[in-house]
Structure 1
Amino acid sequence: MPNTFDEIDTGILTLLQQNGHLTHKDIGEKLNKSPSTIQERVRRLQKEGYIKGYVAIIDHHKVGLGLICFTHIKIKDHLHENLSRFAEEIVKFGEVQECFKVSGEFDFILRIAAPDLASYDDFLANVISKIVPLGNMYSTFVLQEVKTGGTLPIGMPKKQMV
């Protein structure tokens, strides 16, 4: 982290992770700083890329997306252009909540939301499998969400991170 990142920035990011609706005044009261100081720092944190954006965490069941699946994808032939094309294309689909390029046996892990198993199967067959030639693929279905929408442990001493 750059030298300009300090405890106030840590406090701002921690509070915004817990509640993205907090006003600059609310944050300032919690950190004993003026709203204008908080506003200036939030703008800087956004400009420097610490804050990438703001989202609402939606209950997927309530919007008809009852199936969450982690899909492990291995790209056939490991050609650079296939890996790059897959990464460029996969982010265009709303069903894909998250995509990670990973090391190990597979190349990508996707978090996919779908209404049901039939919709998920259709998405695999008619979308994912047509982006680039695939090698292996396997799916792990979520039975219960124990923790989601986690916050980053900003400023936590390393000995506490287990």
Structure 2
Amino acid sequence: MDTLDKTDRRILQVLQTNARLNTKEIAHRIGLSVTPTYERLKKIEKLGIIKDYVTLLHGEMIGKTLVAFCNVSLQLHSQPLLKKFEAAIAKMEEVMECYHVAGTYDYLLKVVVDDMRSYQHFLTNKLAAIENIAQVHSSFVMTEIKHTTAYGLV
């Protein structure tokens, strides 16, 4: 992050708010002309700091009303078994996020599905089908208090 100055950070902050802005609109918001803004944006993209441009959907409006966090413990922790578990999880569309964590559990999954019946199907037919799982503990979201994708930069 040392390669980014204050202006670069402002560009990123603006883009995190609205990735649909064109270069002219970004330039206007940060107080810079279009050409230097364009050059800075291309540099930031080339550095790989911007991973992707996406559209964020409102889950409830598309029928994804159940959010669960699953703590998963594995029986054995060999490198091949960890990689096999991670590869299986990466293919599951219900799993929105997966983290290998330290502590009581090995992995934390964010699972989003239509309803409890869909979650039961996911748990029994997909997650439990992965070999080497010792335990799964699920917590269900009742109310989302804060959800952001933006990092504080300025």
TM-score by length of 1: 0.89
The residue aligned with 2:92 is 93
Which amino acid counterpart does residue 20 of structure 2 have in structure 1? H
Q: Percent identity?
A: 32
The residue aligned with 2:111 is 112
Unaligned runs of 5+ in 1: 156-162
The residue aligned with 1:62 is 61
The residue aligned with 2:151 is 152
Which one is further off, 75-84 or 10-19? Answer: 75-84
The residue aligned with 1:78 is 77
The residue aligned with 1:29 is 28
Which amino acid counterpart does residue 94 of structure 1 have in structure 2? E
Unaligned runs of 5+ in 2: none
RCO greater where, 1 or 2, for CA within 8 Å and sep 6 or more?
2
Answer yes or no: is 1:41 the counterpart of 2:40.
yes
The residue aligned with 1:159 is none
Answer yes or no: is 1:141 the counterpart of 2:140.
yes
Q: Aligned pair count?
A: 154
The residue aligned with 1:50 is 49
TM-score by length of 2: 0.93
Which amino acid counterpart does residue 46 of structure 2 have in structure 1? K
CA distance in 2, matches of 1:38, 1:54: 17
Contact persistence 1:57–1:149 (CA under 8 A) = no
CA distance in 2, matches of 1:132, 1:79: 13
Answer yes or no: is 1:17 the counterpart of 2:12.
no
Which amino acid counterpart does residue 137 of structure 1 have in structure 2? V
Per-residue CA shift, 1:62-109, capped at 9, x if unaligned? 111110111111111112211111112211222111111111111111
CA distance in 1, matches of 2:11, 2:87: 32
Which amino acid counterpart does residue 132 of structure 2 have in structure 1? P
The residue aligned with 1:121 is 120
CA distance in 2, matches of 1:88, 1:47: 28
SS at match of 1:58: coil
Per-residue CA shift, 1:42-71, capped at 9, x if unaligned? 222122111001122211111111101111
CA distance in 2, matches of 1:35, 1:98: 36
- Find runs of 4+ consecutive structure 1 residues off by over 6 angstroms: none
Q: CA deviation at 1:124?
A: 1.2
SS at match of 2:103: coil
Which amino acid counterpart does residue 12 of structure 2 have in structure 1? L
CA distance in 2, matches of 1:149, 1:56: 13
The alpha-carbon distance between structure 1 residues 89 and 40, as it changes in their structure 2 partners (threshold 3 A), is: farther
Which amino acid counterpart does residue 121 of structure 1 have in structure 2? Q
